[in-house]
Amino acid sequence: MNLTNPFSLAGKTILVTGASSGIGRSISIACSRMGASVIITGRNEGRLASTLSAMSGEGHSLLPVDLATDDGISSLASQVPALDGVVHSAGIGHRLPCKMITGRDVDEVMGINFKSAVLLQAELLRGKKIKKSASLVFIASRAAESPSIGNALYSASKGALISYAKCLSLELAPRLIRVNCICPAMVWTDLILQGGLSKEDLEKEQLKYPLKRYGVPEDISGLAVYLLSDASSWMTGSCVDITGGENKL
């Protein structure tokens, strides 16, 4: 552990998925500022380049791939070096009444929010791309335990991710590899603006939170840095709520 700064990521190589926007973008920038060499990935090369341009330091790289495909997962896993940390942040929002859900909806949401993370992580482990004492962070959601109308598939996908991560933490503990989830409540990203409410409605709703606001991506990136750093070396199998005080089930 860096005794000067226990949250330093100097000397660590971190992979961040979903790095082209929102929480993934913010985590990538924060990790670079803490000294990590960061590999960012997502589907949109232009937006990834924007993230890269906002990062500090040198030695970073971008790998545009589509993790919803087997080829994309294999390509990414084969190109990355041995990793000290992975942040699984790729995901999509989805609001639809339960009676309207189709097989295509299930495949799309579970495929991106759950399946792609599981298969990528498996490929990285098989390829021996995860170092001993590494840290794996999954961006889940309070939605897994906080139901809302129309949010069934998204909530289910994040609940599945949490259950998977807890099992993974047990399997990897002998190698001192830590596995934790971050479960944010509402955060100002493109995802919440796609949920059917206007920005004005959301601005009113956020005042119901004890801290009187929704989160911003930077609120989440600080917690991710902690989980990736040696400061969290005795923490695994945990799901950390970060909610502005809003814990209503």
Q: Classify the C-alpha dihedral 166-172-174-178 as positive or negative.
A: negative
Known catalytic residue at 154:
yes
Among all chains, which residue has been given the structure tokens 């960012």? 40
Please give the sequence-ordered ranges of beta strands (E in DSSP) within the chain, or none if there are none.
13-16, 37-42, 61-64, 83-88, 130-139, 178-184, 239-242
Residue 204 tokens read as 């009113």
* Amino acid type, 120: L
User: Of 154, 164, 214, 226, which residue is the catalytic one?
Assistant: 154
Chain CA centroid to CA 107, Å: 20
**Paired strand residues for 242:** 184
Residues with a known catalytic role: 154
